[in-house]
Amino acid sequence: MKKRLILLALIAILILSTMGCGSSADYDSSGSNAFYTKDVAEEGWADTATADTGIAEEKSVEAPAESGQEDLEGYDLSRKIVYTSNIGIESKKFDEDVATVKGLISSNGGYIQSSSQYGSAEYGNRDCHFTARIPAKSYDAFMTAVGSVGSMTSKYEDVQDITSEYVDVQARLKSLDTKMERLRELEAKAETVEELLQIEDRINDVQYQIESYTAQKRVYDDQVDYSTVDITIEEVATFTEVKADTAWNRFVDAAKDSCSGFITFLQDFVIALIYIFPYALIIVVIIFIIAFIRRKKGKGPLFKYKKKKKEQEVTNTEK
């Protein structure tokens, strides 16, 4: 009996000792994060667990735009307008008009972002396309000047106000810069490797967001500072006449197109015959030479078999 009591007492002592060690370990583990959690909480944007840092940071960045109480001092609040245009031009003097448009782009402080040209001067069917970037301050003057080149057949303009988007990007960048400063302060106070790694993860995430919004801001600045104008110049023999869209005009246009198509077909057919003629002549000469050689050798005409077959058919018919 006494042995059993002693054994139970020893087991109880071992259990209590194990529980005491576990509590001490938990205390040490929680203590290692105490510095980081306490300092982050003092900065006003702590979260309950390090795994939630991405969510906490995202909410912190979006707060200025949602609350509407962010201090706008130092922000660029001027109107941010983006102009985009598309112009179609017919030209009887293609080379001259293309040079004129290039000169207008240059004289207004712009540049050609891309260009392409198709067709042939021989057939008078060339067309040229420009994508030009024109400074916003010279946009109206350029559009007026280019309208006098050739005959304008189409014109499309789009005006987009991106002021709110621009201010929002500025607010997000300011919030992220403030957050980066706080993280740098915490990094300087870090006492353990674990704390330092946690803070560096947050710094990398914030830095990525700063770079992303900075790139977006540059895109906005470029769109606002330089308007985009697409210009297409088409070479024509006569300018397209602008007429009222009536049934009679459509009938006349259809008749003209039909006649024009038929004439074009005849022209192409004659041209094709001219191309084929030398080859056809060579084939005829070859056939004549072969037939002449066969007759000289006494083999009869080149197409003797077909002729005999035809005679047999006639004989069978008479019978």
Q: Where are the domains of the chain?
A: 35-241
In this predicted structure, the answer to whether residue 258 has a pLDDT above a threshold of 60 is yes
Q: Where are the alpha helices (DSSP H) in the chain?
A: 2-32, 34-43, 53-67, 94-107, 139-146, 163-189, 193-225, 247-296, 304-318
Query: Measured between alpha carbons, how far is 25 from 27 in angstroms, rounded to an integer?
Result: 5
Chain-wide mean pLDDT for the chain?
Answer: 78
Residue 312 or residue 33, greater confidence: 312
Average pLDDT rounded to a whole number, residues 59-77: 51
Work out the percent of the chain whose per-residue pLDDT is above 90. Answer: 48
Beta-carbon contacts of residue 232 (< 8 Å; ≥ 6 apart): 86, 87, 88, 89, 127, 128, 129, 130
Distances from the Cα of 79 to the Cα of 133, 165, 221, 223, angstroms? 20, 11, 12, 13
Q: How far apart are CA 22 and CA 19, in angstroms?
A: 5
Q: The whole model's pTM is what?
A: 0.56
Could you read off the pLDDT of 78-91 as tens digits, one per residue? 889 999 999 999 99
190: left (phi over 0), alpha (psi -120 to 50) or beta: beta
* Tokens at 224, concatenated: 């606002």
